[in-house]
Amino acid sequence: MHVILSLLWALILSLCSLSVFAWQVTLQADDSTQKVMVSNEANLNGVDVYLVVFDKDAKDEQPLFQSWIVDQGWQMGLKPVSSSAIDLTAFASREMTALTPTCPDEHRCVLALVAIEHGLEPLENQNKWQAASFLPLTLAAGCERWPGQTFFLSCDSSRGGYGDGAAEAMDDGAASPAPNKAATPDAAAGSAAPDTEKPDIFRRVGDKLLYANGQAKRFQVIDIADVSNPVLTAWTALSGSPRELYVLGEHYVLLQTDYVGEEGTHLTVLREDDAGKLITVDEMTLSGHFIESRRRNDLIYSVTQDYTTVEDDQTACVGCRISKQSLNIKALRLTDAGKWEEADQAELAGYSPTIAIFPNHLVIANHNPAEEKWRTTQIQVFDLSQSDPLVELPTLKVPGRVPSEFHLSIVDDQFRV
């Protein structure tokens, strides 16, 4: 079992490091079932296709793998959808089957779609996968964070980061993750799809590892050309607690918060000079408690929370000190010279937002401020495809709470909650 789990984590690492995003597996719910939807934009010839649900936390008699097979449905074990090689051309999203395997809420279960040369064993030949896509099926799986992964939940440190399984996979020779490409401001030019990102505090760019090291209070540039002998090539002191990191062209963008209270968000732009030394190009401070940010092409959308005191004459409670909570959304653009420009801004009433970004939309779901108790959630969708970076669409209200960004989806301009 130890060897199998090590191979399984190697499989996950490879899934996350592949850059073939034209090959996608998603779920679409109807009244009674979850439909497995598959799309493909590339020609794949002579491949075995695996559609698999795997459970990292399977124990005893619980299945580790469940595979879907044509004319047989879901079967135990790791098996291709067909025993014969398959030639695939590009096709739009279509229903493949219904998702019938179940997973305990506390288990880390993932739905994976993998294409590999016919006859090759997928776990032992991760570097020969031609396409892969994976989808967390539980909140526990969504908390995992792997190299190259761009879609995950923000969870506490007890679930985030690499677990023992990841270390075992690396020891067993898991394929190295592909380097992240630096975002280009002109990514949306022509017919290219907008480039969106949810950041982390580390990025791999070529043979460099960029790491906002909160423990050392330093931003570090590490040469990993020889992974067995990493070399620290440059560093600079952090001015606060590191929260997020972006790479925009030759510039490194750090988002930090004050060590005490986290009531100020500092955006620092760095770059390396010809000698490899880190220099500060520009700095900006945003007010309020930092929540999260997202990126679309050359624009960074920051979300902070402010508290303002409501005057006595505006409330029914004389002498009470009441705070009004609001969310500030700013669209910030980094110029070619590495200077900040505020492109647009918006303000929403409420607190504790769930934030999700899609190619042409930013979604913020938070507490309905008209209620004392959280009975409904208000959802604000911003259209990002217009000349103005933040175009507010009508506010929606839904019963209950939206627990995570995984419960928000925009596909073909259809919004699902």
Q: How many CB atoms lie within 10 A of CB 260?
A: 9
Nearest to 329 by CA among 341, 313, 342: 342
Q: How many CB atoms lie within 10 A of CB 163?
A: 14
More confident residue, 12 or 412: 412
pLDDT of the residue at 311: 62
Name every residue whose Cβ is closer than 8 Å to that of residue 242 and which is 6 or more positions away in sequence. Answer: 201, 212, 213, 214, 219, 254, 255, 256
Q: Tell whether the model's pLDDT for residue 185 goes beyond 60.
A: no
This prediction's pTM:
0.55
Q: Tell whether the model's pLDDT for residue 13 goes beyond 90.
A: no
More confident residue, 198 or 134: 198
Residue with tokens 């739905």: 111
Angle formed by the axes of helices 2-17 and 164-171, nearest 10°: 90
pLDDT tens digit sequence for 97-106: 999 998 888 8
Q: Which CATH class is domain 196-416?
A: mainly beta
**Could you tell me if 55 and 107 are in contact, meaning their C-beta atoms sit under 8 angstroms apart?**
yes
**Could you tell me if 230 and 224 are in contact, meaning their C-beta atoms sit under 8 angstroms apart?**
yes
Least confident of 253-267, 293-307, 387-401: 253-267
Alpha carbon 303 to chain centroid distance?
16
Q: Tell whether the model's pLDDT for residue 321 goes beyond 50.
A: yes
Phi-psi region of 135 (alpha: psi -120 to 50; beta: other; left: phi over 0): beta
pLDDT tens digit sequence for 136-170: 888 777 766 543 344 455 454 434 433 333 333 33
pLDDT band with cut points at 50, 70 and 90 for residue 310: low
CA atoms of 63 and 204, how far apart (whole Å) = 35
Q: How many CB atoms lie within 10 A of CB 164?
A: 10
Domain ranges of the chain: 2-171, 196-416
CA atoms of 178 and 181, how far apart (whole Å) = 9
More confident residue, 15 or 396: 396
pLDDT of the residue at 313: 58
DSSP string, 39-69: EE-S-EEEEEEEEEEEETT--TTS-SEEEEE
Read off φ and ψ for residue 266, nearest 5 degrees: -105, 125
pLDDT tens digit sequence for 33-86: 889 999 998 899 999 999 999 998 998 888 999 999 999 999 999 999 999 999
When the pLDDT of each residue in the chain is averaged and rounded to a whole number, the result is: 81
> How far is the CA of 313 from the CAs of 307, 310, 323, 326, 371, in angstroms?
18, 8, 14, 20, 20
